[in-house]
């Protein structure tokens, strides 16, 4: 699944990514279909959606590899609890972190903190990535594999940082 340890070692020694000076940056769009985007050495290497457990396992594996190679690593998680809507648009808090959405955000924060993984709980993904089609994403990023809304949102968290 994704990059192998051998491929990772081949990247060793290259310039760090532009994502806040982080060599390996991961974007997470939590939910039933968790969006995951991985940028290494300034290049997208993975953009997909999967279960939260699969994403967590991937993060642990990559974090361990990066520590072994003495590379910087950071996870960016979209946290809709930071969303502040005008009262007229609020729908009993569901969009801001009530119920399962709030539980998912809290679970990600707890998981990353427990494993001492550097992370930032971010506000909403920039609008251009939330409304972007698969074709528009391909043109903007050069990513030639299929994506969905969740994986593009995860990529939006790390692109342009």
Q: Is the pTM of this model over 0.95?
A: no
Segment (H or E) for 68: helix 52-68
Q: CB-based contacts of 127: which residues, under 8 Å, 6+ apart?
A: none
User: Which domains are seen in the chain, by residue range?
Assistant: 5-158 (3.30.420)
In this prediction, residue 127 carries a pLDDT of 79
Secondary structure string (H, E, C) spanning 87-153: HHHCCCCHHHCCHHHHHHHHHHHHHHHHCCCCEEEECCCCHHHHCCCHHHHHHHHCCCCCCCHHHHH
69-86 average pLDDT score = 83
Stretch 54-82: mean pLDDT: 93
Residue with the bigger pLDDT between 64 and 105: it is 64
């Amino acid at each position: 699944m994704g990059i192998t340890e051998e491929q990772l070692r081949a990247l060793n020694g290259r310039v760090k990514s532009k994502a806040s000076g982080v060599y390996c940056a991961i974007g997470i769009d939590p939910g039933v279909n968790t969006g995951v985007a991985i940028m290494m050495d300034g290049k997208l290497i993975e953009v997909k959606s999967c279960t939260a457990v699969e994403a967590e396992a991937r993060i642990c594996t990559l974090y361990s590899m990066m520590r072994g190679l003495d590379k910087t690593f950071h996870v960016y998680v979209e946290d809709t609890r930071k969303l502040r809507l005008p009262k007229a648009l609020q729908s009993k808090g569901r969009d801001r972190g009530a119920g399962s959405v709030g539980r998912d955000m809290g679970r990600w924060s707890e998981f990353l903190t427990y494993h001492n993984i550097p992370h930032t709980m971010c506000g909403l993904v920039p609008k251009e990535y939330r409304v972007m089609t698969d074709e528009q994403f391909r043109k903007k990023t050069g990513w030639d594999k299929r994506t969905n809304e969740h994986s593009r949102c995860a990529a939006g968290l790390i692109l342009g940082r």
